Amino acid sequence: MRCFILYASSKDANFYYMTRFKTTDPCIYLLCEDKTELLIVPKMELRRAERESKVKELASFEDLGYKEFIKKLDPKEAVLQVLIRILNECKVKEVVVPENFPAYYAFKLSENFKIVFDNPVKKRRVIKSISEINEIEKVARKILETFDWLLKNFKFNRCEEVRRTVEMKLYEMGCLAEGTIASSGKISSDPHEIGRGKIEDHLVLDIFPKSLESLYYADFTRTIFLNKNLELEEMFDAVLDAQSEALSMIKDGVNARDVHEMVKCKLEERGFKTDKGEGFIHSTGHGVGLEIHEEPRISEQNYTLRSGMVVTVEPGLYYREVGGVRVEDLIVITKDGCKILTDYEKKIKLF
């Protein structure tokens, strides 16, 4: 018998995807090649797991002898014994684990079982179901509502105020946005700088909350111009054009690498070189789901884009002496093109 296992809490997207069980403490999830599933939780979580988890077959660590093991062993050894016991009971010979499986257990299990690295769950997560797309779209709509409100009430002087306002509004709507980027001035040339201090000529606002209920993310960026700045605007126009081309190119079957290369090429044609850590210094996009950055990547790597994938398309340009600009939309890839989940005006001037 071949069996895929996880030992993780619901912080782990693969664990949550398969179990829909929210837990702080790690549990064991098994998916055997005959499709049977088993979730092992602490005994005190068993009835909650019965109510909440989508896994039908449940057991507790205590059912599998944990209480006996812990009398003689330390906790990690006791968990290991539970793992070995359940794998033996299921007559497992080959244990399939994801690359981020805890190394200690993998090493110990390799003494008794054949270990294979593979992640069928991660592969499954790449293509979103209709209900997953719905959850992501719900979050996207809350972002747009927040952003729209923000623009209509824009009287902010500092990056910190914008971030706080956005995060507060989203929280009221049941979404958690951490590290929202509201960045201005030269420092915005670091794409992941969250931004601080006075808002200068422009504001890069990158909002990527997750729903506290469904745990799905959405991701959206706009660059807001508050004062005339021809250099930044020129960069932004190039980014907009590149995004537009990328969006029209994406559909089922397209190689992500070709999209990325086209974006790079378009930006270079407009005179925006990428060199020495400046220019277009990140990938064109990434998958979004239970993780904010997940497969696929739209980058230098070959990757066939498929219908049902939810990805960002977010070209940007970053120069230390000028600053950074970016535009980002979240899309679902379809057979013939894509559906934009974050449909909102792209060039925003508040002056």
CB 3 within 8 A of CB 31: yes
Give the shortest CB-102-to-its own copies separation in angstroms: 4
Q: Which two tokens stand for residue 70?
A: 């812990």
Q: Which is nearer to its own copies, 244 or 255 (CB)?
A: 255
Q: Which is nearer to its own copies, 327 or 348 (CB)?
A: 327
Give the shortest CB-297-to-its own copies separation in angstroms: 8
Give the shortest CB-335-to-its own copies separation in angstroms: 27
Using CA atoms of 115, 120, 126, 129 in order, give the dihedral in degrees to the nearest 10.
Answer: -160
Which among 110, 109, 83, 67 has a CA at the least distance from the CA of 26?
83
Give the shortest CB-74-to-its own copies separation in angstroms: 7
Angle at which helices 256-269 and 230-249 pack, to 10 degrees?
Answer: 150
Q: Which is nearer to its own copies, 168 or 265 (CB)?
A: 168
Q: Which is nearer to its own copies, 12 or 135 (CB)?
A: 12
Q: Which is nearer to its own copies, 47 or 56 (CB)?
A: 47
Phi, psi of 307 (to 5 degrees): -50, 135
Give the shortest CB-179-to-its own copies separation in angstroms: 7
Q: Which is nearer to its own copies, 1 or 44 (CB)?
A: 44
Give the shortest CB-46-to-its own copies separation in angstroms: 7
Q: Binding residues for its own copies, per CB under 8 A?
A: 11, 22-25, 43-48, 70-71, 74-76, 97, 99-107, 110, 115, 117, 168, 171-172, 176, 178-179, 190-193, 212, 277, 281-282, 292-293, 297, 300-301, 318
β partners of residue 56? none
Give the shortest CB-341-to-its own copies separation in angstroms: 20
Is residue 109 classed as helix, strand or coil in its secondary structure?
A: helix
Q: Which is nearer to its own copies, 44 or 350 (CB)?
A: 44
Q: What is the DSSP string of 159-225?
A: HHHHHHHHHHHHHHTTEE--S-EEE-SGGGGSTT----SB--SEEEEEE--EETTT--B--EEEEEE
**Structural Rg of the chain based on CA atoms:** 23
β partners of residue 58? 39
Q: What is the DSSP string of 225-261?
A: E-S--HHHHHHHHHHHHHHHHHHHH--TT-BHHHHHH
Angle at which helices 159-172 and 130-152 pack, to 10 degrees?
Answer: 130
Give the shortest CB-106-to-its own copies separation in angstroms: 4
Is residue 96 classed as helix, strand or coil in its secondary structure?
A: strand
Q: Which is nearer to its own copies, 107 or 149 (CB)?
A: 107
